[in-house]
Each structure stands twice: as structure tokens, then as C-alpha cells.
Chains A and B, each alone.
Chain A
Amino acid sequence: MGSTNEARTHVSHLRARGRVARRRSVHIGSLIARLLAYGVLLGLSTFILLPIGWMLAAALKPDLTPVFTQPPEWWPTRYWYWENFVRVMSSDAIPLLRYILNTSLIAAGNIIGTLFSCSLAAFAFARLRFRRSNFLFNVLIITMLIPWQVLMVPQFLMFFKMGWYGTYLPLIVPAFTGNAFFIFLIRQYMRTIPKDLDDAARVDGCSYFQIFWWIILPLSTPALTVCAVFVFIGSWNDLLGPLIYLDTNSKFTIAIGLANLAQRAGNAQWNLLMAGNLISIIPPVVVYFLVQKKLIGGIASVGLKG
């Protein structure tokens, strides 16, 4: 690290000495480049934000007011019917509150199940020695590459025969048996914790489970947080799973509820649909804002250290 800094100082020193004559143009060039970069970034941010602004403007319009105006209203100006958000939560046609509770239940079950099973397996892979550990780890990696959709039909038949069709069990129980991706992510993190801690605890008479519970698990909270966030966003946004296993409106999740509403939207109330859609994106966005830094770090560690 020291030598890196030294080299950097050295380089800037060289530049300062050698390019005095050209410095001015470099400076102007970089100013133009900087302005250009800001321009492009602003343009791209507009491309992201305007559609969301349009959605908000549409959601705040009263009934029977055209949503599709020419020119489009990119942000709310005239109408501020915030009660649309309340209406969509409590209306009979779209029991959005019901959907939100259902989805939260499934998401909570998935988070608990995944953290439980994945941290246990990750601890074994990261810190325990046992025969066939390499073989089992390779199996884990292979299951990561098999698309879940291959298993869709046989799993459906299995759950159907078990009488679990139409319940949340097929959407929650598998989480309690782990997920290769999250086992891998937590294991990578647990491997960075010094092994001396375990040895010291062993000398003090801790069992392996006590080491796991009192030492490794608390130290792994960053990885566990990233997992919890991924699982939350994944199950909140999931459409295919609930579409296969749920059959009654009162049990639907927010993704199916809104997809159904959009599909019969020929004469739909666009304002309410957009209000519901906005409500549906609030939880993942809020969670993302809260843990943004950890999330990006987590993606980086999985994507590159693998």
C-alpha cells in the first residue's frame, strides 16, 4: 500500500513537472469532459426518473380524467388525489392490502428459512473439516447452474400430490432447505473470519454449535443482511411461483394481483392501477436505499471472487 502511494505521488510529480506547458489544455479538456459526463448522467437519470414521475402523475388523477394526455404529464401538476392510494388499498376489486400482507408473509418465511438453512450449511463448508467436503461443494455449485424451471413441473406434481396446492407451503418450505447461491455467499464471507477465534473458543470448551451461534453468526451479519435483502426483493417480486401454486384471489401476492389487474385493464381505472403499482415498488426501493452500500459490495464479492 505504501509503495502504491509512493508510486502515485511519483507519477503526479512527473506529470506536474513534465506537462506544465500543456496543463492548461488538459484542464480545459477535463472540464469539457466533466461537463459532458454530467450531461450524459443527467440525461440517463431523466430516462429513469421521468417514467416514474409519469406514473405518479397518473396515480394522482381523479377518476374519469384522461391518464394519457398529449403531451404526457411527466410529473404531477394539476391533480393531487392522494386518496387514490387509500382507495386502492381498501377497494374490493383490488384487495391490495390483503395482497401486501400475503406477500409479506411469504417473504418473511423465505427470509427466516434461507438465513437458517444457509448459515448452517455455510458454516460447515467454511469452517469444518469433513470427508467429501469438496465433492459436496461441487454439487452445490452445479445446483447453482441448473435453472429452477426444469424442476417446475415435477415439483408442482409433488406438492400437488401432497395436497399443498393452493397453500403457501410450496412457496416457503423449500427455503428452509437452503439455496446454493446464498450458501456460497455466506460461506465466502465466513472464510474471511480468522480461524484463531474458533480455536480459542474450542480451548475454552465451546461446542461447534456455540461457536457458530455466539461467534461466527454475529460476525457474519453483513453477509446475512445482503442475503436477507436479496431474498426479500426476490420473493416480493416473484410472479411465476405464486402463479403456479396459488388459486384464490384472497391468497394472491401483490405481483399476481397487479398482473391480473393490468391484464383486464381494457377499461380499467388507470389511476388506481398506477397507484397500486407505485405502492408495490416502495418496499424494495426503501430496502435498497437502506442497505445500498452493503448490497453493491455483496454483488461485487459474489460476482468476482467466485
Chain B
Amino acid sequence: MNVEGQRREGRRQLPGPAARHEERVAYLFLLPWLIGLLVFWIGPIVASVILSMTDWYIVSSPTWVGFSNYQEMLFEDRQFWQSIQVTLKYTLMSVPLYMAAGLGLSLLLNLKLKGMNVFRTILFVPAVLSGVAVAILWVSLLNPDVGAVNWVLRGAGVANPPRWLGSPTWAVPAMVIVGLWGVGGGAIIYLAGLQNIPPPLYEAALLDGAGPWQRFRYVTWPMLTPTMLFVLLTSLIGAFQVFDVAWVLGGSQGGIGGSLRFYLINLWNQGFRNGRMGYASALAWVLVIVAAAVILAIFRTSGRWVYYEYEPEKV
């Protein structure tokens, strides 16, 4: 390892013809990606910062307005604040629920039982379906008067079941239920994490006389925390970017009274319906800044609850 490192270091200072050839080949292999990086990432990112400081309707020419897009958003735009509220409500309701449900489901799917592959297959199916297909199905099931969900609820003794998408209060919970149907997708990631836990840890715990709960609490849980961090981050990012299902359930106007006006639905409306390209860019940047802040905060605190393998205090 050390010799290898020294050799690489030496090569770095004095590249021979073979090394230079290898480097040229490497950049040739990277060329499509590098072009894309420049044209589809760096260019648009720079453009987007500038755009967010302009007033630009797609048909007219841009005018420089400084920070007034951001000012309008924060102090005047009620739809913006509503979209924040809807997205936040959905995030707070869905992320903890999906994380817990995914974990529970994965523990169940990790049991050694006959026919388990069939159950795994069935439960993962909704995860490969499009948001549109899932939403079309559930918009019918959630019909407040004749839908199947409320039929079941009435049968269970709920005299006045929720109006779901027809009610500003229940529209977001309806979205959460639709998402719960696809929770198998998250369970698969936990399942992969569970199967990566080395069996000797459980054997050692058994030898020490640990019961099922103790084995879960002191082996499974700590060993699974890196997976939980990954699932937490991806589900938060996913919740910030809800679009397809809300689009079908609530339409481009964001449902009854804007109860399904998610952040991206609002952004899409400003940019592609109202044609306000500058304002939509500013909205996009606020999303990035908020998402980055949340991700950073989680990483900062993750040291307290995420255990990484082969640390002495853990085993």
C-alpha cells in the first residue's frame, strides 16, 4: 500500500510517456461526462443564479431586479408560503411513518419462512409503478362518497369518514396513505442493510444470553443506523420533491384550496404556466438552500446516533 502510494506520488511529479498516454485515454473516456457536466450542470447552475435575479417572462427579454424575487417570495407571495406549509406537513407526517413502517416490514421480510420470496415480490411491486399510475388508482379508491377506502371505513364503524382529496384538512393525509402503499421500496433498502449484519454478532449475543428484544436493541439497531441515515436523507429529499402523485390527485392548481400545492407544483406553475422564469429560478434556489441546510444539520447530528462498523465502543 505504502510502496504503491509512493510510486503514484513519484509518477505524479514526473509522468512518463506511458502514464501520460493513460491519462489522455482516461480523459477521452470521461469526455461525454465532462461535456455534460459543463453544458447541463455548471452552465445551468450559473445561469440559474443570474436568472433568479431577473424578471424574465419567456417571451420578453430579461430585466435585472436584484433580490426582489426573493423579497417577493418571502414577504408577499402567499402561494409560496402555502407550498412550504403543505410540503412541511407532508414531510413531518410521511417521513417518520415511512421510516418506521419500512423498518418493521424489513424485519418481517428478513425472517426465514417458506414462501418469503413471494411476499417480498408482492410488497415491492408498487415501488416500480409510476406516480401517475398509482395516483390514478388511488384517486378512485379515495373517492369520498363511493370509493373503496371509505366503504371499508364505514364498515368499520366510522359514520362520517374523511372527505380525503375533497377536504383541505385530509388531502395531505390522503397523499401519505398513497405513499404508504409503496413503502416496500424503502423496506428493500433496510433489508439489504439487515442482510449485511455479520451473523457472528448475533451468535455472540446468543451466547451471552440475549433475548430477541436485546438482540434487536444491541445488535440490529446499531448496525442498521447507517442504513437509517441513508433512508432518512433520501426520504427527506423525496418529500421535498413530491410532484407526480400530487399533480394527478390535485391538478396543477394544487387541489382544493391549494391543499396539495407542493413546493414543486408551485414552482412548475410559476415557471411553466405563468412563464416567470426568473421567479421560478429563485424558487428553485430556495429549495436547494433549504435542502442543503437540512442535509447538513442531519450529518452534523448523525455522529450521535449513527454507529459505524468496527468502532470499539459499539461491539
Contact = CB atoms under 8 A, between A and B. Distances in A.
A16 interface: no
Contacts of B23: 128-131
A233 B127 CA distance: 10
B108 A37 contact: yes
Contact of B271 (A48, A151, A153, A270): A153
A284 B113 contact: no
Contacts of A11: 203, 206-207
A222 to B, nearest CB: 16
B222 to A, nearest CB: 15
B67 interface: no
A120 interface: yes
Contacts of A240: 243-244, 264, 268
Nearest to A5: B199
Contacts of B90: none
A52 B136 CA distance: 11
Contacts of A54: 137, 140-141, 148
A48 B123 contact: yes
B251 interface: yes
B32 A120 contact: yes
Interface stretch (A67-75, A80-88, A90-98): A67-75
Nearest to B233: A145
Given A54-B148, A128-B25, A158-B44, A289 B244 contact: no
B35 A177 contact: yes
A119 to B, nearest CB: 9
B271 A237 contact: no
B15 to A, nearest CB: 8
A285 B129 contact: yes
B113 A34 contact: yes
Contact of A304 (B119, B122, B226): B226
Interface of B: 8, 11-12, 15, 19, 22-23, 25-27, 29-33, 35-37, 39-41, 43-45, 47-48, 51, 58, 105, 108, 111, 113, 119, 121-126, 128-133, 135-141, 143, 146-148, 151, 155, 181, 184, 188-189, 191-193, 195-196, 199-200, 203, 206-207, 226-227, 230, 237, 240-241, 243-244, 247-248, 251, 264, 267-268, 271-272, 277, 280-281, 284-285, 287-288, 291, 295
Main secondary structure of the interface of B (DSSP, over half): helix
Contacts of A52: 125, 137
A284 B244 contact: no
A273 B200 CA distance: 53
A292 B121 contact: yes
Given A136-B30, A153-B48, 15 more contacts: A37-B111, A44-B119, A48-B125, A54-B137, A55-B137, A129-B8, A129-B11, A131-B12, A147-B287, A150-B44, A150-B285, A289-B121, A292-B124, A304-B226, A304-B230
Contacts, number: 271
Contacts of A220: none
Nearest to B21: A208
B156 to A, nearest CB: 13
A153 to B, nearest CB: 5
Interface residues of A, number: 95
B4 to A, nearest CB: 11
A168 interface: no
B264 A51 contact: no
Nearest to A124: B29
A38 B146 CA distance: 32
A235 to B, nearest CB: 10
A208 B25 CA distance: 7
Nearest to B185: A299
Contacts of B45: 146, 150-151, 154
Q: Which 9 A-B pairs have the closest CB atoms?
A: A177-B36, A300-B192, A237-B130, A68-B146, A154-B44, A124-B29, A130-B26, A178-B33, A72-B148
A154 B51 CA distance: 8
Contacts of A239: 130-132, 243-244, 247
Contacts of A154: 43-45, 47-48, 51, 281
A156 B275 CA distance: 12
Given A121-B29, A147-B288, A237-B132, A304 B196 contact: yes
